[in-house]
Each structure stands twice: as C-alpha cells, then as structure tokens.
Structure 1
C-alpha cells in the first residue's frame, strides 16, 4: 500500500478526526514531507482534506468519493477476502472484468468505477453511466456445477441484495421488476447484467460476470430525454459517504446469500419484492410481443405467466413491459 493509500485508509477509518503530520508520519514510518505530498495528491483526486494549525489534517465528514479504503471499512467478514479495484473511469466494468476472468482471475475479484464510457445493459443496449452520480460494479463468480439455466439465480440474488442495501441506507422501499430492474418510488434506480461463460466440455458455467449499475444521485443536468420519465436515483442530494456505504452494502448482502447458494431463502425475498406478480404484462421477444398475466415466481426464479389463450409458460430469461400506475 502506498503512503497515499495508507493515509486515505487512516482518514476513512476515523473520518472527521484530526491527525497531525507528525503523528501520521510516525504511524506510517515515513517523513513529514511524504505525508504532505500524499495529502496534496489526495486533494488533487478530489478529496476534501481540512488542515488546521495545531490540529493537523482530517478528511471532511461529508466527503463522498468511491474508494477501496472507503468500502472496506463497511465490509462484513464475508467480504473481507474480496479483491477490490476502484477506478476513476472504465469503458465497461463487465468487459474489463471478463478480460481478467479469461486471464485466470479468482472468484471475488470486483471492479468498481466512478463512470463508464461504454456501459452496457441487456440486449446490447448502452447503460447511462455519468461521472460522480452513480455506482458501477462488476463481480467475478465461479459457481461450482451451475448450469446456464440456473444462472438466473445470480441475477435474482443480486436484485435482492441491491434492494436490501438501498433500503438500509436510504430508508426508502424498493421493488423488483422481473428479472433485473430495481425500482424506488415508481422509477428505475438500478439495472443488473449477468453474463455467463459456459464450458464446451460439460456444459456447466465456468464463470459469471455480475454487473450492477445504481443511480445514486440525479445527474446535474438531468437524465437523458429517452429515460427522463422512467429513471430515478437512490438519493435526491449528496450524502455522507453514500457511494462507499452503498457499494459495501450490496457486496455484504449479496455474498451472505451467495455463500449458501443451495438454500432458497432469497427466492421468498425476491417474490415479496416483485411488483410484477398478479399484473398484466407484455412479453417482448424478437418473434413478436405477447400479452400475459404474471402468475408467480417459482423456486428457480422463473416467471410463470399465463397467455390470453390460457397457455402457461415458465420464463427463465427475457424482457417484459408493464405499465406503472
């Protein structure tokens, strides 16, 4: 860990507490000049660091910058072995993590970014990923013996984790639109993109890239015209360490479920959060759209639907449309 990273970790662990340059230098076994240089480096990266005579330095209490050190202080034991990498910018965290997965990166490798220049959503769509207002992260998983059809479990687990983290931190209720969209107060605040790599030898899943994008704050200039009526954000304005708390919360809740993936507790949570069940929906597909009623979410997280002709079907993937009232 560099001097700058060590100082940031110290400031994050005891946010708002002043440390003299001499004290920091002694703790880290570096010179006062190295401390001064590191503090200035953090300031250039956007960290608001107060300096007061006879007190020293401290990280301003209302700072909200995503960082490895900021996330780690909120992590539960289940996440302590994760390998976090926080980037100021990435084309796509999913694409970057796929490259690392192909190079042999282990399960638990996590990439987070402050912005994405080519964020990806489902069906090849772009995912709006502006700087400073969102949380964009991808998690590498290597589930043992999972079939491609079972990979929907990962998506639904993640949806539940996002709901739990958002509700804990914001105090606002969330809902899930099958299979991968999270809503709050009638607006979409999060999307999930799960991409699996399958073994040609036995047909099992070799790796899963779980991508999660969350609108933490509203963009300064507003959302783009095409999503302005549907997109929302977790918070209306800046929060004290909002992004680090939210990132850690999502990871904590997800890995608590993932480490006991053979249990189905999360399915009941998912079903309870669904605002689709019992509603009239439109199932979108390349062959044409069909009207149906969403009947239930089964234990494998498939959506059970009944078409207008009375036929029922279990959907393991796809896209639906529903009119929100």
Structure 2
C-alpha cells in the first residue's frame, strides 16, 4: 500500500479527527515530506482535508468520494477476500472485468468506477453513468459447477441485496421491477446487468460478471430527456460517505446470500418487494407486445402472468412495461 493509500485509510477510519504530520509520519514510517505530498495529492482529487497549525490534518466528515479504503471500513468479515479496485473512469466496469476474468483473475475481483463512458444495460442499451453522481460496480464470480439457469439467479439475489442496502442507508423503501431494476417512489434508481461465460465443452458456467449501477444523486444538468420522466436518485442532497457506505452494504448483503447465508429466504424477500405483482403489464417479445396481469413470482423468481384470454405463462427472462403513474 502506498503512502497516499495508507493516509487515506487512516483518514477514512477517523473522519473529523486531526492528526499531526509528525504523528502520521511515525505511524506509517515515512517522512513528513511524504505525508505533505500525499495530502496534497488527495486534495487534488477532491478530498476536503483541513490543515490547522498545532493540530494537523483532518478529513472532513462530509466527504463523499468513492475509495477502496472508504468502502472497506464498512465491509463485514465475510467480504474480507474481496479485491477492490476503485477507478476514476472506465468505458464499462463489466467490460473491464470480463478482460480480467479471461486473464484468470479470481472470484471476488471488484471494479468500481466514478464514471463510465460506455456503460451498458440490458439488450445492448447504454446506461447513463455520469461522474460523481453514481456507483458503477461489477464483481467477478466463479460459481462451482453452475448451470446457466442457476447462474441467472444471481440477478435476483443482487436485486434483493440492492433493495436492502438502499433501504438501510437511505431509510427509503426500495422495490423490484422484474427482473433487474430497482425503484424508489416509482422511479428507477438502479439497474443490474449479469453476464456469463459458458464452456462450449461442458455447458457449465466458467464465470459470471455481476454489474450494478446506482443513481446516488441527480446530475447537475438533470437526467437525459429520454429517461427524465422515469429516472430518480437515492438521495436529494449530499451525504456523509453515502457512496462508500452504499457500495459496501450492497456487497455485504449480496455475498451473504450468494455464499449461502439467508439463501432460504431471499426468494420471499424478492416477492415481497415486487413492484409488478397484481398490476397490468405489457410483455415485449420477438413476436410483439402482449398485455397481461402479473400474478406472482415462483421459487425460481420467474414471473407468473395471466393473459387477456385467460391463458397463463411463466416468464424466465424478457422485458416488461408497467404503468406506475
């Protein structure tokens, strides 16, 4: 760990507390000049660090910048194996992690970005990923002997984890629009994209990349016109460490379910948070559009629907539209 990273970890663990340059230098076994240089580097990246004579340096408690050090302080022991990589900008966190997966990176490799220039959503769509207002996170998973149908459950596990994390940090109730969107007050604040690599020889899953994007704040210029009526944000004003806390709580909850803790009740939680059950929906498929009523969610998180002619179906994937207002 570099001097800069070590100082940031110290500041993140003790926000609002002053440390003298001499004290920091002694703790890290570096020179005071190295401390000064590292502090200035952090300031250039936007960290609000106060310097006061006879008191030293202090990281403002109101700082809300993504960092591996800031996230790690909130992680539970179960997540200790994660390799967190927080980057200022990438084309796509899923795309970069796919490169790493093909190069042999282990399960638990995580890429988190402050900005995506080519963020991806489902069905080849783009995902709006502006700087400083969101969390764009992907994690590499290597489930043992998993079939593609089993790997698809990762999306629904992530949806439950995202709702629980959002609710804990914001104290606002989050819901799931089948199959992969998270809503607050009938506005989309998060989307999930799960991609898998399947062995042509065995048909089993080699790895899964789980990607999630969350709108933490509304961008200064607002959302793009095409999503302005449907998009929302988790917070309406700047939070003290909101991004780091939310990213960590998502990882805590996702891995708790993924590794078998509380797995037996996540399906019921998915059902309980459904935004569509009991509502009229439109189902989009290659054959066209079809109206139906969402009647429930089964044990595999497939959507149960009833069409206008009385026939029923069990959807394992696809896209639906529901009128929310």
- TM-score, with structure 1 as normaliser: 0.98
Segment of structure 1 superposing worse, 234-243 or 142-151: 142-151
For structure 2, which runs of at least 5 residues remain unmatched after alignment? none
**Structure 2 residue aligned with 1:157:** 157
Residue pair 2:18, 2:55 contacting (<8 A) in 1 also: yes
**Structure 1 residue aligned with 2:100:** 100
**Structure 2 residue aligned with 1:273:** 273
Residue pair 1:88, 1:113 contacting (<8 A) in 2 also: yes
**Structure 1 residue aligned with 2:213:** 213
Alignment of 1:202 onto 2:202: yes
Residue pair 1:152, 1:316 contacting (<8 A) in 2 also: no
CA distance in 1 between counterparts of 2:220 and 2:264 reads 40
RMSD over aligned Cα, in angstroms? 1.0
Residue pair 1:152, 1:301 contacting (<8 A) in 2 also: no
Residue pair 1:152, 1:317 contacting (<8 A) in 2 also: no
CA separation of 1:286 and 1:63: change in aligned 2, threshold 3 A: same
Segment of structure 1 superposing worse, 280-289 or 189-198: 280-289
CA distance in 2 between counterparts of 1:275 and 1:316 reads 17
Query: Shift of the alpha carbon at 1:261?
Result: 7.4
**Structure 1 residue aligned with 2:309:** 309
CA distance in 1 between counterparts of 2:263 and 2:184 reads 27
DSSP 3-state at the match of 2:90: coil
**Structure 2 residue aligned with 1:230:** 230
DSSP 3-state at the match of 1:90: coil
**Structure 2 residue aligned with 1:146:** 146
CA distance in 2 between counterparts of 1:103 and 1:27 reads 37
CA deviation vs aligned residue, 1:4-60 (integer Å, no higher than 9, x gap):
000000000111110000000000000010000110011111111000000000111
CA deviation vs aligned residue, 1:122-160 (integer Å, no higher than 9, x gap):
000000000000000001011112211222210010001
CA distance in 2 between counterparts of 1:128 and 1:241 reads 22
Residue pair 1:108, 1:141 contacting (<8 A) in 2 also: yes
Segment of structure 1 superposing worse, 149-158 or 233-242: 149-158
DSSP 3-state at the match of 1:135: strand
DSSP 3-state at the match of 1:194: strand
DSSP 3-state at the match of 1:289: strand
**Structure 2 residue aligned with 1:295:** 295
**Structure 2 residue aligned with 1:49:** 49
CA deviation vs aligned residue, 1:186-213 (integer Å, no higher than 9, x gap):
1000000001111111211111110000
**Structure 1 residue aligned with 2:173:** 173
Query: Shift of the alpha carbon at 1:99?
Result: 0.4
CA distance in 1 between counterparts of 2:153 and 2:318 reads 14
Query: Shift of the alpha carbon at 1:262?
Result: 9.5
CA deviation vs aligned residue, 1:108-131 (integer Å, no higher than 9, x gap):
110000010000000000000000
CA distance in 1 between counterparts of 2:193 and 2:95 reads 11
Alignment of 1:264 onto 2:264: yes
Residue pair 1:264, 1:299 contacting (<8 A) in 2 also: no
CA distance in 2 between counterparts of 1:258 and 1:314 reads 24
Segment of structure 1 superposing worse, 256-265 or 43-52: 256-265
- TM-score, with structure 2 as normaliser: 0.98
For structure 1, which runs of at least 5 residues remain unmatched after alignment? none
Residue pair 2:215, 2:233 contacting (<8 A) in 1 also: yes
